[in-house]
Amino acid sequence: MTVRQTRWGRLKTTEFDRTAVARTVVILPIGSTEQHGPHLPVEVDSLLVTEVAKRAALAADASVLVLPTLWVSLAEHHMSDAGSLTLDFHTLLAFVRCVMRSLQRQGYQRVLLLNGHGGNMAALTVIVDLLGVELAMPLVTATYWMVAAQEFSRLLEGQSNLLHACEAETSMVMHLRPELVDAVTACTVDAPVTGFLQAGGMHRWRNIAHWSRTGVVGTPHLASAQKGALLLDAAAKALAGYLIQDRLWETQ
């Protein structure tokens, strides 16, 4: 059985279906390169958002293409830790704008910015609002663990959704790349079980050290590869369900 190719970067120029561009959904996965505590690598966000995008594209009953992942984004709050990299907002906006213009010139009209890093959520909402008007196209953003919030809450034991280097992320990396996980340290790392909350609806910028000495928030000691497989499938299924909804892409 031949599996349809959904990876943009693996297609030859002659293999793009020029007759299907108007109804094809294009996903730009946006990850990050940042510290994930002492037990996970700095590529976690990029690794996971790429996998969710790939699985969702195959699961969707629609024409879907997945662009190469943007592996660096807004991670200023992790820059005190070794290995972290960051963009500024205007660079991220400029990059997304150029990619969206390129897609629009080729006739694509349905684009999803799939986010895999918590520090991008507010910025991507602003970017979608700006570029949606500027380019007059139905540009959408979504953060995969928010799309699958109900499913993640059901599967996780020590936390209600994804946090940082936590039960969820550790589980998914255990499933995908177990050799990258220090499982012993995951069970012993000092980590608060909650974090990233803003009191009374107020917001101010905080370094990750404000919440966690080790850079970990959540319950990684409860992680398992089996749980990771279920989380990835849940995220992909939930996302695929949205991709096929025409009302998401309506221009009016």
Instruction: Indicate whether 55 belongs to any domain.
Output: yes
pLDDT for 2 beyond 80: no
Structural domains in the chain (count): 1
Instruction: Indicate whether 215 belongs to any domain.
Output: yes
What pLDDT score was predicted for residue 77? 95
DSSP state string for the chain:
-PPPP-BGGGS-GGGS-TTSGGG-EEEEEE-----BTBTB-TTHHHHHHHHHHHHHHHHSSS-EEEPPPB-----GGGTTSTT-----HHHHHHHHHHHHHHHHHTT--EEEEEE--GGGHHHHHHHHHHHHHHHTS-EEEEEHHHHTHHHHHHH-SS-SS--BSSHHHHHHHHHH-GGG--HHHHHH----S-----GGG------GGGT-SSS-BS-GGG--HHHHHHHHHHHHHHHHHHHT-GGGG---
What pLDDT score was predicted for residue 3? 65
Q: What whole-number distance in Å separates Cα of residue 3 and Cα of residue 188?
A: 41
Instruction: Indicate whether 1 belongs to any domain.
Output: no
User: What average pLDDT score do residues 155-178 get?
Assistant: 97
What pLDDT score was predicted for residue 252? 61
Which domain, by its residues, includes 218?
8-249
Q: What is the tens place of the pLDDT at every residue in 27-81? A: 999 999 999 999 999 999 999 999 999 999 999 989 999 999 999 999 999 999 9
pLDDT for 88 beyond 60: yes
Instruction: Indicate whether 104 belongs to any domain.
Output: yes
What pLDDT score was predicted for residue 78? 96
Q: Minimal CA–CA distance to 113: which of 12, 227, 220, 25?
A: 25
What pLDDT score was predicted for residue 250? 86
Q: What is the tens place of the pLDDT at every residue in 105-151? A: 999 999 999 999 999 999 999 999 999 999 999 999 999 999 999 99
Confidence of residue 200 (pLDDT cuts 50, 70, 90): confident
Q: What is the tens place of the pLDDT at every residue in 94-104? A: 999 999 999 99
Confidence of residue 204 (pLDDT cuts 50, 70, 90): confident
pLDDT for 1 beyond 60: no
Average predicted confidence (pLDDT) for the chain: 95
Confidence of residue 171 (pLDDT cuts 50, 70, 90): very high
CATH number at residue 131: 3.40.50.10310
In this prediction, what percent of the chain has a pLDDT beyond 90?
89
User: What average pLDDT score do residues 2-24 get?
Assistant: 91
Instruction: Indicate whether 236 belongs to any domain.
Output: yes
pLDDT for 202 beyond 70: yes
What pLDDT score was predicted for residue 195? 80
